[in-house]
Amino acid sequence: MKKYIVDSFESEGHFGPYGGRYAPEMLIPALVALEKAYREAQQDSSFVAEFEKLLATYSGRPTPLYFAENLTRKLGGARIYLKQEGLGQTGSHKINNAIGQALLARRMGKKRLIAETGAGQHGLATATVAARFGFECEIFMGELDMKRQRPNVFWMEQLGAKVTPVLYGTRTLKDAVNESIKNWIENLETTHLLVGSVVSAHPYPTIVRDFQSVIGREIRDQIMEEEGRLPDCLIACVGGGSNSLGMFYPFLEDEGIEMVGVEAAGLGIESGKHSARFQGGKKGIVEGYKSYFLQDDDGQTLTTHSVAAGLDYAGIGPEHAWLHDLGRIEYTHATDQEALEALKLLLKTEGLIPALESAHAVAEAVKRSPGMGSDQIIVINLSGRGDKDIFIVAEVLKDKAWLEFLKAKVKEGYGDQ
């Protein structure tokens, strides 16, 4: 009997009291069909083999597990390893799930992929697999996120996807999720909704977790090879929660291993401008699943904030809510400022540019590592690389030269010729 791992097909998508299928009736047949197709695919060795082959040859897995010697020395505590998910195709872990679901959509005879996206990394991964497999593709993205993640929008469009701005609500990920579900309702016959995180109605949280758990499985093998033992602590950032759950899941039953999920504290928990669901959020049922949500006393979801668009979301995957209540995973938080400091630190010590999302995980290691022994091991999931964040980071760091560069580009008639 497993203590933390739930058979979520047996439980009809429930993780303790969380999860479930709180979906409008018109979506239920599609969710049931997806569940059936996925369970069959799981048993089909040719499906699994094709998935693994694409992960290896198209995306570049396994991603390296890198011993961050300089960072380790600098922090003076545990030995720190970085799982370099950012080295995969499209620059983040999102590609793992996108490949898996694209294969599933093809198997179900769908012609069109749609997806929600926050930071744009999931949209980019979806647009990429759509191009690769010949799907028509539409990505829904909050207007605010489109503004702060223009480079990803550019590439999605180049890849042939239509990027549709969501102009209502908070104009971020939550509203993009709503819009993608509405679009799915209108196009169930032809379209697969490629959900990008461990959220939404059953079976999505299970499917996404399974496709992402390749991260944790690889870490197990890689750390055994490097150190001859399992790590003491795993750290990952948590937006919807797919990179963290993908990392943690294969270790859940190893009770000695500490796991830390880092939420976005934005401008600080006390400011109210954050996205930390376990700090001030409460139980709710929104967007098809029961979990913790940032909401007011009436149950209206709240506007969230994070410098990292990928963490800027009012809900959190239901399996996280369950593992939180069980005390299996510790959830902590890092502010925008701490994440930026961590980003600079990793740049200077290791020459690596983490995504702003992943920098939250690094920030936690900065706090935690000095109190640990030099015989202990931390693994941080660097879920994405930070090239995409150049506009945001340069703006926050008030980099004058970058601003001048942009101005000069416009002035000299960039794009006019």
Partner 1 sequence: MTNKIDRKLAQLKQDNRHGLMAHIVIGYPNLPVSEKIILFLAEAGADLIELQIPFTDPLADGPTILKANLDVLRTGIKVADCFRFAEKMASRLTDIPLLFMTYINIPYNYGLENFCRDSAAAGLTGLIVPDIPPDEKDEPYHDLCLAHNLHPIYILSPSSTQERMKLIGHYASGFVYCTARVGITGARESQIAGLREFMASVRKYVKVPLSLGFGISSREHVESIRELAEISVVGSKVIDIYNSGQSEKESLEKISSFVRGLR
135-to-127, 129, 192, 376 alpha-carbon distances in Å: 9, 8, 10, 46
* Nearer to partner 1 (CB atom), residue 23 or residue 195: 23
* Nearer to partner 1 (CB atom), residue 182 or residue 348: 182
- Cα-flanking dihedrals φ and ψ of residue 332, to 5°? -130, -170
Q: Cβ neighbours of residue 227 under 8 Å, at least 6 residues apart?
A: 79, 377
CB contact burial 142-162 (16+ within 10 A = b; e otherwise)? bbbbbebbeebbebbeebebe
Minimum gap (Å) between residue 200 Cβ and partner 1: 11
* Nearer to partner 1 (CB atom), residue 24 or residue 373: 24
Annotated catalytic residue 357 = no
Minimum gap (Å) between residue 32 Cβ and partner 1: 8
Of 59, 83, 85, 116, catalytic: 116
Q: Cβ neighbours of residue 315 under 8 Å, at least 6 residues apart?
A: 174, 199, 240, 277, 284, 286, 287, 289, 291, 292, 293, 301
Annotated catalytic residue 74 = no
* Nearer to partner 1 (CB atom), residue 14 or residue 274: 14
* Nearer to partner 1 (CB atom), residue 182 or residue 409: 182
- C-alpha closest to that of 214 among 256, 174, 243: 243
412-to-48, 231, 403 alpha-carbon distances in Å: 52, 53, 14
* Nearer to partner 1 (CB atom), residue 99 or residue 181: 181
Within 13 Å, how many C-alpha atoms sit on residue 215's CB side? 36
Minimum gap (Å) between residue 91 Cβ and partner 1: 30
Annotated catalytic residue 116 = yes
For residue 90, give the amino acid letter.
Answer: T
CA distance linking residue 183 with residue 188, whole number of Å: 9
CA distance linking residue 238 with residue 219, whole number of Å: 18
Minimum gap (Å) between residue 398 Cβ and partner 1: 34
* Nearer to partner 1 (CB atom), residue 231 or residue 284: 284
Minimum gap (Å) between residue 31 Cβ and partner 1: 10
Of 83, 94, 110, 290, catalytic: 94
Q: Report helix, strand or coil for 36.
A: helix
Of 35, 213, 383, 388, catalytic: 383
Helix (H) or strand (E) segment spanning residue 19: strand 18-19
* Nearer to partner 1 (CB atom), residue 285 or residue 390: 285
Minimum gap (Å) between residue 320 Cβ and partner 1: 17
Minimum gap (Å) between residue 325 Cβ and partner 1: 15
Minimum gap (Å) between residue 242 Cβ and partner 1: 20
Q: What is the dihedral of CA 327, 86, 73, 245, to 10 degrees?
A: 10
Q: Report helix, strand or coil for 246.
A: helix
CB contact burial 69-91 (16+ within 10 A = b; e otherwise)? eebbebbebbbbbbbbbbbbbbb
Q: How large is the greatest C-alpha to C-alpha distance in the chain, in angstroms?
A: 67
**Inter-residue contact 55 to 87 (CB < 8 Å):** no
- C-alpha closest to that of 81 among 206, 182, 225: 225
Q: Which residues bind partner 1 (CB under 8 A)?
A: 14, 17, 20-30, 32, 168-169, 174, 178, 181-182, 185-186, 188, 282-288, 290, 293, 295, 297-301
Radius of gyration from C-alpha coordinates of the chain: 20
Catalytic residues: 94, 116, 383
